[in-house]
């Protein structure tokens, strides 16, 4: 469906004006998403912001690459009172949709938050789940490399949002300790596969049937130079499919992860580990990935073939190191010049149900090295090279990429 420019101008710019995470370059920040300091008066106020990035990518062996406005995002926050706020975010991918093709226009967040006190605050609406280190905070200046770590998109949907409610807050007895926990719509296992894991199983807040539910939560600790946290997700994925289940938590998906980032002097370190357990992977494979039966020459059943089913377990992670050489070139400068290297390793078919052969292409390794230049904390210019390998041990094409990004 084609959208005219006038129609696009009428779309409400949606947004979150919250605490934005910068690339391991500043001291750790509060990430509960609690609204900024409340105004002293009871007058209403509205704030806007945004972020975006433009990429040039050239796969190895390609004569020419492609350039793309990957994301254009607007934030909108409205403060109804010192205790009641609305946050939202609207994203346009690839600049336009025309004739039903092209990019995507999507609301990534839209929720109301009521603050009781610093310990407990109610949040309800379309929520970014607290899964992984970048699902909630993924503005381009917040990470090195033109792309976010590939391992995250393979292990969880990004950007993963669902409709629900929950609570966020700080624990004042331990400075820097905070949490977020939500009850939301669950997943649909019909979208799972071995290559992208559970990625295509999320509803993104679009007419999500309440046939599956999920609980998720994150606890994290922030202090000068350090940010570390752990998270859990447990949710149903049966979505009332025949033969899979009808309970809200049937065909459960259990996800978990830990992450940390630390800076000392000019050195910035970052790492993350993530795992998944799909208890009923065999049942899901039979329901959604099994092909027609195969017979031998004698007419006896020889077995089935499988259309790349999801693994019973998935796992992976990455580590990254960056060093700010600008402090050596120009001491006292607020600019940053960060050579970096990142190693990623993950497998979306770590283990499989019996009698199913894994796809070696789903066992993936990436090494990304490049340079990040930040003239200000919220603008960035990037260049990187990606070297790839999978379980086939054959050469996998790498990639050269350039990018610019901003947030405000």
pLDDT at 36: 41
- Is the pLDDT confidence value at 40 over 60? no
Using the predicted structure, report yes or no on whether residue 42 has a pLDDT greater than 70.
no
Print the SS3 string covering 259-291. Answer: EEEEEECCEEEEEEEEEEEECCHHHHHHHHHEE
Q: Of 2-16, 198-212, 328-342, 365-379, which gets the smallest average pLDDT?
A: 2-16
pLDDT at 245 over 50: yes
What pLDDT does residue 292 have? 59
On whether the CB atoms of residues 50 and 92 are closer than 8 A, the answer is: no
For the chain, report the end-to-end CA distance as a whole number of angstroms.
Answer: 31
Q: What gap in Å lies between CA 193 and CA 289, rounded to an integer? A: 8
Read off the pLDDT of residues 369-398 as tens digits, 9 standing for 90 and up.
999 999 999 999 999 999 999 999 888 899
Q: What is the DSSP string of 135-198?
A: SS---GGGSSSSSPPHHHHHHS-TT-EEEEEEEEEE-TTSTTEEEEEEEEE---GGG-BTTTBT
The share of the chain scoring above pLDDT 70, in percent, equals 86
The 10s digit of each residue's pLDDT in 258-289 is: 999 999 999 999 999 999 999 999 899 888 88
* pLDDT score at 377: 95
- For the chain, list the domains and their CATH numbers: 5-37+45-407 (2.40.160.10)
pLDDT tens digits, 107-147: 999 999 999 999 999 999 999 999 999 999 999 999 999 99
Is the confidence at residue 17, as pLDDT, over 60? no
pTM assigned to the model: 0.86
Q: What pLDDT, on a 0 to 100 scale, did the predictor assign at position 396?
A: 87
- Least trusted range by pLDDT, from 126-130, 198-202, 342-346, 404-408: 198-202
What is the per-residue pLDDT for 398? 93
Judged against a pLDDT cut of 70, whether residue 38 lies above it is answered with no
Answer for the pair 311, 351: CB distance below 8 angstroms, yes or no: yes
pLDDT for res 370: 98
Q: What is the mean pLDDT of residues 172-195?
A: 95
pLDDT at residue 399 greater than cutoff 90: yes
Q: Which of 7, 72, 35 is nearest to 404 (CA)?
A: 72
- The larger pLDDT score, comparing residue 202 to residue 14, is at 202
The answer on pLDDT for 39 being more than 80 is no
Per the CB < 8 A criterion, the answer to whether 242 and 276 are in contact is no
Q: Virtual CA dihedral for 36, 41, 43, 44, nearest 10 degrees?
A: 10
Tens digit of each residue's pLDDT (9 = 90 or more) over 283-298:
998 888 876 566 667 6
Phi, psi angles (nearest 5°) of residue 356: -115, 130
Per-residue pLDDT at 207: 87
pLDDT tens for 309-334 read 889 999 999 999 999 999 999 999 99
pLDDT at 1: 37
């Amino acid at each position: 469906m084609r959208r005219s420019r006038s129609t696009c101008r009428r779309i409400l710019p949606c947004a979150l004006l919250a605490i934005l995470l910068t690339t391991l370059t500043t001291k750790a920040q509060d990430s509960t998403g609690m609204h900024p300091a409340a105004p002293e008066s009871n007058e209403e106020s509205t704030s806007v912001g945004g972020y975006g990035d433009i990429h040039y990518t050239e796969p190895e062996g390609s004569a020419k690459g492609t350039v793309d406005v990957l994301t254009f995002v607007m934030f909108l926050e409205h403060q109804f009172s010192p205790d009641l706020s609305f946050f939202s975010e609207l994203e346009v991918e690839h600049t336009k949709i025309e004739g039903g093709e092209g990019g995507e226009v999507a609301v990534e967040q839209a929720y109301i938050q009521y603050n009781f006190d610093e310990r407990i605050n109610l949040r309800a609406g379309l929520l970014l789940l607290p899964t992984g280190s970048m699902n909630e905070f993924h503005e381009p200046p917040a990470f090195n490399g033109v792309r976010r770590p590939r391992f995250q998109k393979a292990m969880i949907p990004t950007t993963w949002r669902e409709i629900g409610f929950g609570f966020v807050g700080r624990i004042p007895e331990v400075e820097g300790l905070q949490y977020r926990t939500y009850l939301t719509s669950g997943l649909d296992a019909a979208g799972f596969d071995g290559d992208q894991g559970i990625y295509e199983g999320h509803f993104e807040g679009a007419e999500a049937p309440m046939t599956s539910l999920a609980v998720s939560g994150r606890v994290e600790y922030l202090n000068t130079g350090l940010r570390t946290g752990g998270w859990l997700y447990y949710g149903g994925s049966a979505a009332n499919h025949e033969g899979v289940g009808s309970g809200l938590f049937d065909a459960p998906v259990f996800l978990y992860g830990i992450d940390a980032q630390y800076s000392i002097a000019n050195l910035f370190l970052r790492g993350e580990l993530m795992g998944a357990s799909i208890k009923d992977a065999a049942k899901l494979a039979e329901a959604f990935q099994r092909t027609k039966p195969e017979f031998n020459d004698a007419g006896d059943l020889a077995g089935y073939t499988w259309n790349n089913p999801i693994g019973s377990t998935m796992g992976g992670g990455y580590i990254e190191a960056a060093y700010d050489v600008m402090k050596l070139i120009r001491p006292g400068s607020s600019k940053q010049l960060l050579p970096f290297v990142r190693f990623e390793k993950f497998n979306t078919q770590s283990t499989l149900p019996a009698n199913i052969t894994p796809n070696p292409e789903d066992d993936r390794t990436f090494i990304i090295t490049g340079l990040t230049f930040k003239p200000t904390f919220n603008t960035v210019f990037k260049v990187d090279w990606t070297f790839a390998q999978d379980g086939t041990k054959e050469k996998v094409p790498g990639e050269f990429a350039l990018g610019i990004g901003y947030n405000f």
